[in-house]
C-alpha cells in the first residue's frame, strides 16, 4: 500500500479592488467575526456542535456556505484547544475583522483576463460582489494561472482578510498529480525532537548516523514566558481586550519563528538521500498513560503541534514524506545500549546508568525517534558505537530563512 499524499499550497495575494466597494468586503469580515464569536460562545455554553451551524446561519448576513466555513473554522479552533491546548481557549469577545472563508465557485470565483491577469469576484454579502484583479509575487501568480488552466490542479477554499489595512486573498490550491514520495521508499530517516527552546535532529540510514543538528530558539521560550507574565497581569486587572491583543502578538511572533525553523528543518533534511521526517505522535501520548512531568509540561506549554504541522506540509511540498511514532521512552532510552530509565536524564544532560554513555539529552531523544521509525520501516537497526559531536545553530545568532 502506498502512502502518497496530494500537494497543497496556500498562495497569498493583494486585492486590487475595481468595483469601488472595498468597504463591503471589510463589513463582511466584521460579520465573519461575529459568526466566529457566536460559534465559540455557543460551544462554550455546551450547545451540541451539530446544532450550531444552523443556529448561527439564520442570523448571519453572509453567503450561506461562507457562514458554514467560518463556523467550521471556529469549531476547529475549539477542537484544537481541547486536543492540544496550543494557544489557550479561543476567545468569543475579540472584535475587528476575521477572515472570510469561502468555497471556490460558491463564495468566490477567479478567472483569467485577456491581459493575463487573474480577476476575482468575492460574494461578500448575499447577491453583493467585490471584484478586481489579484496582485502578488510572480511565483504565486504563475502557480495560480497554471491552476486555472490545468486539470492537474484543483482550486480550493480561500480567505479574504485585511492585513495592515490592505485587502488580501489567500487561495488554497492542490496539485492532484504530483505527490509525496511513499515513505517505504525512503533511504534515510530524520528524527525530530521538539522542545521548548530547541529542536534536535538526527539522520539515520541502515549504515548508521549520517549527521545530527540542534537548532536553538531561546527567543521563542523567552518571548512566550514574557507574554505569559504580562497577560497574567492584565488579566488580573480585568483588561480582557488587552489580554487578547497580547495573545495575538505572541501568536504571530511564535508562528513567524516556527515557520523559519520548519523551513530550516526541511532544507537541512533535503541534503540526505530520500529522507523521511519523523515526529513524536502527541495525540498518542495524550491518550496514553502518564509520561512524567517533562512530557506533560511540554504538552501544555508548547505550540508543538504547530512546528510539526508547518514542517510536515513544507516537507510534503518538496515531496518528502513524514511519519509519526509513539513517543514512549524516547527521552529516557540510551541510544547506545538501549537501557531505559528515567534517571538517565537530568534536564539537558543524559548519562546512561548502565553503560555510562553521555550526550545532549535532546539529541539523544532525536536518535531514539529515528530508531523507532527505522524499526517501523523494517530496516536493520545499525549498531551505534559512537555518535557524532552535536552541532548547534541558533535562530538568534544565525538568520534562518
Nearest to 258 by CA among 212, 215, 322, 203: 215
Question: Nearer Cβ to Zn ion, position 156 or 208?
Answer: 208
Give the total of residues touching Zn ion (CB under 5 A). 8
Cβ(307)–Cβ(259) below 8 Å: no
Nearest residue to 25 via CA among 169, 133, 144: 169
Closest distance of CB 378 from Zn ion, Å:
25
> 363-379 b/e with 16+ CB inside 10 Å = b?
bbbbbbbbbbbbebbee
Task: Pick from 94, 263, 339, 392 the residue near Zn ion by CB under 5 A.
Answer: 339
Give whichever of 254 and 352 is closer to Zn ion, judged by the CB atom.
352
SS3 205: strand
Contact positions with Zn ion (CB under 5 A) in 345-364: 352, 354-355, 357
The answer to the question of residue 77 lying near Zn ion (CB under 5 A) is no
Closer CB to Zn ion, 38 or 359, in the complex: 359
Pairing between strand 275-280 and 322-325? parallel
End-to-end CA distance of the chain: 36
Residue number with CB closer to Zn ion (112 or 337): 337
Binding flags for Zn ion, 253-282, as an x/- string (CB under 5 A): ------------------------------
User: Minimum distance from CB of 357 to Zn ion (Å)?
Assistant: 5
The span from the CA of 217 to the CA of 220, in Å, is 6
Q: Does 371 bind Zn ion (CB under 5 A)?
A: no
CB of 339 to Zn ion, least distance (A): 4
CA distance 308 to 218: 18
Question: 39 with 70: CB under 8 angstroms?
Answer: yes
Surface-to-core class of residue 287, CB atoms within 10 Å of its CB (0-12 exposed, 13-18 middle, 19+ buried):
exposed
Please pick, from the candidates 4, 47, 267, 337, the single residue that binds Zn ion as defined by CB under 5 A.
337
> In terms of CB distance, is 277 or 336 closer to Zn ion?
336
**9 lies in the site for Zn ion, by CB under 5 A:** no
Phi, psi of 296, rounded to the nearest 5 degrees: -60, -40
Which of the ranges 103-111, 245-253, 304-312, 337-345 carries the binding residues for Zn ion, by CB under 5 A?
337-345
Q: How far is the CB of 335 from Zn ion (least distance, A)?
A: 8
Closer residue to Zn ion (CB): 67 or 366: 366
Residue 158 C-alpha cell reads as 480561500
- Whichever of 68 and 332 has its CB closer to Zn ion, that residue is 332
Site residues (CB under 5 A) for Zn ion? 334, 336-337, 339, 352, 354-355, 357
Amino acid at each position: 500500500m502506498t502512502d502518497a499524499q496530494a500537494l497543497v499550497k496556500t498562495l497569498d495575494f493583494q486585492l486590487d479592488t475595481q468595483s469601488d466597494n472595498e468597504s463591503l468586503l471589510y463589513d463582511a469580515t466584521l460579520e465573519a467575526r461575529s459568526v466566529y464569536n457566536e460559534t465559540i460562545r455557543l460551544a462554550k455554553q455546551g450547545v451540541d456542535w451539530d446544532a450550531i451551524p444552523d443556529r448561527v446561519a439564520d442570523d448571519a448576513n453572509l453567503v450561506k456556505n461562507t457562514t458554514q466555513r467560518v463556523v467550521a473554522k471556529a469549531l476547529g479552533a475549539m477542537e484544537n484547544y481541547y486536543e492540544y491546548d496550543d494557544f489557550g481557549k479561543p476567545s468569543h469577545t475579540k472584535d475587528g475583522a476575521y477572515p472570510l472563508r469561502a468555497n471556490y465557485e460558491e463564495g468566490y470565483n477567479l478567472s483569467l483576463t485577456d491581459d493575463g491577469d487573474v480577476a476575482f469576484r468575492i460574494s461578500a454579502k448575499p447577491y453583493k460582489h467585490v471584484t478586481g484583479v489579484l496582485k502578488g509575487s510572480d511565483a504565486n501568480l504563475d502557480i495560480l494561472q497554471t491552476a486555472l488552466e490545468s486539470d492537474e490542479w484543483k482550486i480550493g477554499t480561500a480567505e479574504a482578510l485585511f492585513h495592515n489595512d490592505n485587502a488580501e486573498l489567500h487561495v488554497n490550491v492542490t496539485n492532484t498529480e504530483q505527490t509525496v514520495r511513499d515513505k517505504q521508499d525512503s533511504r534515510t530517516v530524520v528524527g525530530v525532537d521538539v522542545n521548548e527552546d530547541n529542536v534536535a535532529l538526527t539522520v539515520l540510514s541502515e549504515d548508521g548516523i549520517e549527521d545530527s543538528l540542534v537548532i536553538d530558539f531561546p527567543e521563542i521560550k523567552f518571548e512566550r514566558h514574557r507574554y505569559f507574565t504580562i497577560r497574567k497581569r492584565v488579566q488580573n486587572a480585568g483588561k480582557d481586550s488587552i489580554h487578547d491583543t497580547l495573545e495575538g502578538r505572541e501568536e504571530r511572533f511564535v508562528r513567524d519563528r516556527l515557520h523559519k525553523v520548519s523551513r530550516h528543518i526541511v532544507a537541512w533534511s533535503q541534503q540526505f538521500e530520500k529522507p523521511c521526517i519523523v515526529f513524536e505522535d502527541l495525540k498518542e501520548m495524550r491518550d496514553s498513560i502518564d509520561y512524567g512531568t517533562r512530557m506533560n509540561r511540554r504538552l501544555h506549554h508548547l505550540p508543538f503541534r504547530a512546528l510539526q504541522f508547518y514542517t510536515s506540509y513544507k516537507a510534503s511540498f518538496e515531496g518528502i514524506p513524514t511519519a509519526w511514532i509513539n513517543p514512549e521512552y524516547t527521552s529516557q532510552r540510551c541510544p547506545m545500549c538501549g537501557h531505559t530509565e528515567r534517571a538517565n536524564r537530568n534536564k539537558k544532560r543524559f548519562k546512561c546508568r548502565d553503560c555510562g554513555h553521555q550526550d545532549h539529552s535532546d539529541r539523544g531523544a532525536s536518535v531514539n525517534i529515528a530508531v523507532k521509525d527505522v524499526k517501523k520501516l523494517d530496516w536493520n537497526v545499525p549498531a551505534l558505537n559512537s555518535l557524532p559531536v552535536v552541532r548547534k545553530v541558533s535562530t538568534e545568532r544565525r538568520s534562518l530563512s
